[in-house]
Each structure stands twice: as C-alpha cells, then as structure tokens.
Structure 1
Amino acid sequence: MGLIEQVFSLVFGSGRNVVRDTVEVFRPNAEAQSRRDHDQYSASLQQFAAEFYAPQRGWFDRLMDALNRVPRPAMALGTLGLFVSAMVDPDWFSARMVGLALVPEPLWWLLGAIVSFYFGARHQAKGQEFQRELVEHMARPAPDRPSRPETGTPTQEPQPDANAALEDWMRQRP
C-alpha cells in the first residue's frame, strides 16, 4: 500500500498533477482556453458597445446633423447630373455653361472661399471632436481586467520588454 502511495505522490506530487502539467505544454487546457476565448469575445463586445454608443439628442440637433450631411452628396450628385444633362440635352447644357461663363471672377473667388471655409471648418470641428472623445476615453478608469480562470487572480498586461516565460519560471523555482 505504501509503494502505491509513493508512486502516486511521485507522479502527482504534492497537490500538483505532473501528467496534466506536462500535457498542457503540448495541448492547452480546453476549459481554460474556452474561458480565455469567452473573456476576449466579451471584451471586444464591450469595446464595440462603448465605441458605438450614441447619446440621445434633441430634434434640433438631429435636424442640424442631417442638414450638415447634405452639401457633399449634393455636390457629387449635381456634378454627375451635369454630365448626364450634357449627354441628354446638349443645347440646354451649353446655355447653362454660357451663363456660368458670364459669372464675374470675384464671385468665383467668393464661392471658393465659402466652400473652402465650410469644409475646412467642418474638418477642424470633427478633428477636435475626435480628440476630445479620445481624451475623455483615456481619462476614464480602465474596466476591471478579466481574471485568469486557473488562479482567479487579475491578469496583467504584458510589458513590452518583459519576458513572461522567464518571470514565470523564476517564480516557480524554490
């Protein structure tokens, strides 16, 4: 009886399962891998939810956002419409182009300035809004990190110059 106990304690050690630990070197623990996959999937869903969260806004804000979305598609579709109208009715198109040729040059400069300022201001406002959201996101406290299923201790993010395998080996040495 004592011999069998000695063999089992040699194989399974003091509370450790040497066979399981050896097998997990070559094949990951399916339950632990499933837990890690679940934690990763949950974290990505939480990130997407936070990223696409849109606070409720009033009808005036929604109307202004809708109006701000009109100029670029209108200009693109209007230009395509000019090409179509030139092919469908060349006489009508040439009469409109003669009218455009009669517009004085300072008016063209004014139109260019208005369009440039509109798109430039919009570009700047969107850039500042993005930076503000980024700063707010960075200022928020980090969500609780998921714990490792084997130990129940919180996981730590790896350091770029750290060697996790070496540190783990150093902790296990007597």
Structure 2
Amino acid sequence: MGMIGGVIGSVFGALFGERRNVVAETVEVFRENAEAGAGRAAEHRARVLAQFAAEMARERRGGWDRFIDGLNRLPRPMMAFGTLGLIGAAMADPAWFSERMAGLALVPEPLWWLMGAIVSFYFGARMQAHGQGFERAVVAALAQAPAPPGPRPRAGPATTATPDPNAALEDWRRTQP
C-alpha cells in the first residue's frame, strides 16, 4: 500500500512534503493554464484601456471655448441640411427654385473659385488642426506611459553610431560669412 500511495502521490500530488502535480505540469507544456492565461489577458486589457484613456483624455475648457467649438461644428451640418432643403424647395415650388438658380447662374466664375478655395481651406485647416492636436495628445500620452514589460532592446552598433555628416552642408556653412 505504501508503494502505490507513493507512486500515486508522486504523479498527482505531494511526495516527500513537496506540493507538485506532475500531471498538471506535463499538461501545461501542451496546453496553456487557463487561470494564468486569463490573468495575463486581464492585465493586458487593463494596460490597453489605460493607454486608450491616456490618448483620449481631453483638457477641460472654459465656456467660451466650448461655445466656439460648437460654432465650428455647424458649417458641415448646415451645408448638408441646406442641400436637402434645396431639394425639398425644388419639389415644393419649382418656379421659385428656378428663379433662385437663375440668380446663381449670374455669379461670375472667379467668385465661385474664391468661395471654393475659402471653403476648402476652412475645412482643410480644421482637419489638419484636429489631426495635429490628436497627434500631440498621443505623443504626450506615450511619453507619460510606463515602459511595456519585457526584454529591453540592447544597444547595438546601429544605436551608438553617429550619423554621417552632410559634406555639402558643411561646405556651404564654411562659405557663409
């Protein structure tokens, strides 16, 4: 009986006071420990959510800034709803609509080009400003984020080498007073 207990104990549990489970350790070679995997996944999700929260954090603004931001959001919906309104007006009163379109036909072409440039620059500048603001927020969040766990990259010859000097630039600098 003692021998069978020792064999079973060595395979499934405690042998000589050790708390090992040889079967579980062998299975973990071929299949991930579900509890440990769930813990790692939860930790990973928490880190990802913390990074997203840092990227999407907005600074608190005053009432005037919020009002101006609200005004800046109006042109696109107004243009979309205005176009739908024009379609509705054309169906409701075609004579009135044709008179207005005849008036638009009298607008000189350079004025249309100017209006197109103003609208394009307005929306282009807004898009660029929002994109750059988002990039600045992401860079700031990444600068404050802790380093990810794991092995750090080793410094190699590529990271310690100085860049090659620009010979043409050096010649130009020497000729300048």
Does TM, normalized by the shorter one, top 0.5? Answer: yes
Q: Which residue of 1 aligns with 2:123?
A: 119
Corresponding residue for residue 94 of structure 2: 90
Structure 2 counterpart of 1:97, one-letter code: M
Which runs of structure 2 are paired with 1:3-42 in the superposition (5 Å)? 7=7, 11=11, 16-42=20-46
Matched, 1:76 2:70: no
Deviation at 1:117, TM superposition (A): 1.5
* Higher relative contact order (Cα pairs below 8 Å, separated by 6+ residues): 2
* TM-aligned CA deviation for residue 6 of structure 1: 6.4
Distance, in Å, in 2 between the alignment partners of 1:141 and 1:40 is 14
Which one of the candidate residues 56, 59, 84 is aligned to 1:55? 59
Give the letter aligned to residue 156 of structure 1: G
Tell me by how many angstroms 1:71 deviates.
Answer: 0.7
Deviation at 1:60, TM superposition (A): 1.0
Return the alpha-carbon distance in structure 1 between the equivalents of residues 128 and 48 of structure 2: 30
Q: What does residue 169 of structure 2 align with?
A: none
Q: Name the count of aligned residue pairs.
A: 149
Q: CA RMSD in A?
A: 3.1
TM-aligned CA deviation for residue 21 of structure 1: 0.4
Please tell me whether the aligned partners of residues 90 and 97 of structure 2 are also in contact (alpha carbons under 8 angstroms): yes
Task: Determine the structure 2 residue equivalent to 1:103.
Answer: 107
Which blocks of at least 5 consecutive residues in structure 1 are unaligned? 146-154, 160-174
Map of 2:49 onto structure 1? 45
Instruction: State, as a whole percentage, how many aligned pairs show the same letter.
Output: 56
1:156 to 140, 150, 168: 150
Q: Structure 1, residues 50-108: CA drift from partner, whole Å, max 9, x if none?
A: 33322211011101111111111111111111111111110110111111112222322
**Offset from partner CA, 1:124-152 (integer Å, 9 cap, x none):** 21222122223223322426x6xxxxxxx
Amino acid corresponding to residue 20 of structure 1 in structure 2: A
